[in-house]
């Protein structure tokens, strides 16, 4: 069995033209070891491994020094991002991402699908592509967002009942078991790791290298480049 953790960005046309959905793939037999590693990373930074909102690791907050990271030194925050990136690289976790160019998507289709609906559907397809390769089943976990949960569960149920996603070349989702499970991210180390990974991808894949000229921007790009160099990252760009 594989466990699939995903996150998504909130589209804001003032900041970026892109919507991202993406996540990490973990084998069930490795979960305890991976959890112990992330707990140690948390312990090293916060001085505790207890999961609370005050010890929650969000990529954007870490990078910009917001929330519980306000007042923490930049080098310590970059070290935390590096530790999480190295965890993903060392564990050789498969990374699957969908990047949607919203203006192009809306211009190409007369009745364009909402980006969350489309992004989730494409990401579930890519998860199933991977599960086909390893001939296994998977459980999907997402961050608890009230405004998206009901729609996501209904979409997933409809895809499974229909036998495939409603794309031109839609595919079955039968390798995904039961439903999509949602929990608050401060209760899940793996959702937090997915969040940090996706923030790196979002910031680096939606900006030219010339736009990231500051030291901490360059370091973030270096970390994301190292994750990509591991050969486990696949990004679907839409349309």
Those residues with Cβ within 8 angstroms of residue 43's Cβ, 6 or more apart along the chain or in another chain: 49
Mean pLDDT, the chain, integer: 92
**pLDDT for res 211:** 63
What pTM did the predictor assign?
A: 0.94
Domain residues for the domain of 121 are 2-238
Task: Answer whether residue 14 shows pLDDT above 80.
Answer: no
Instruction: Provide the percentage of residues in the chain whose pLDDT is more than 90.
Output: 74
What lies within 8 Å, CB to CB, of 234 at 6+ separation is 94, 95, 96, 97, 126
Domain count, the chain: 1
**What integer pLDDT is reported at residue 164 of this predicted model?**
74
Which pLDDT value is given to residue 149?
Answer: 60
Residue 72: CATH number of its domain: 3.30.420.10
pLDDT of residue 145: 74
Distance CA(33)–CA(117), nearest Å, equals 33
Which position has the higher pLDDT, 145 or 215? Answer: 215
In whole angstroms, how far apart are CA 74 and each of 78, 81, 86, 116? 6, 11, 18, 33
State the average pLDDT over residues 81-88. 98
- 154-170 pLDDT, tens digit each: 777 777 777 778 777 77
């Amino acid at each position: 069995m594989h466990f699939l953790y995903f996150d998504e960005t909130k589209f804001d046309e003032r900041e970026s033209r892109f919507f991202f959905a993406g996540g990490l793939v973990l084998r069930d037999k490795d979960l305890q070891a991976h959890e112990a590693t992330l707990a140690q990373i948390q312990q090293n930074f916060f001085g505790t491994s207890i999961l609370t909102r005050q010890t929650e690791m969000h990529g954007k907050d870490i990078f910009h020094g917001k929330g519980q990271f306000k007042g923490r030194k930049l080098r310590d925050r970059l070290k935390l991002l590096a530790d999480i990136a190295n965890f993903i690289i060392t564990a050789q976790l498969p990374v699957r991402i969908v990047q949607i160019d919203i203006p192009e998507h809306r211009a190409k289709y007369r009745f364009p699908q909402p980006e969350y609906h489309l992004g989730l559907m494409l990401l579930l397809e890519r998860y199933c592509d991977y599960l086909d390769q390893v001939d296994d089943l998977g459980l999907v976990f997402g961050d608890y967002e009230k405004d998206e949960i009901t729609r996501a569960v209904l979409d997933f149920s409809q895809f499974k009942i229909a036998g495939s996603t409603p794309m031109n070349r839609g595919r079955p989702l039968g390798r995904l078991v039961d439903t999509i499970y949602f929990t608050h991210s401060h209760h899940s180390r793996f959702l937090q790791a997915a969040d940090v990974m996706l923030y790196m991808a979002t910031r680096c894949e939606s900006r030219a290298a010339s736009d990231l000229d500051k030291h901490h921007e360059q370091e973030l790009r270096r970390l994301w480049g190292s994750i990509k160099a591991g050969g486990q990252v696949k990004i679907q760009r839409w349309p």
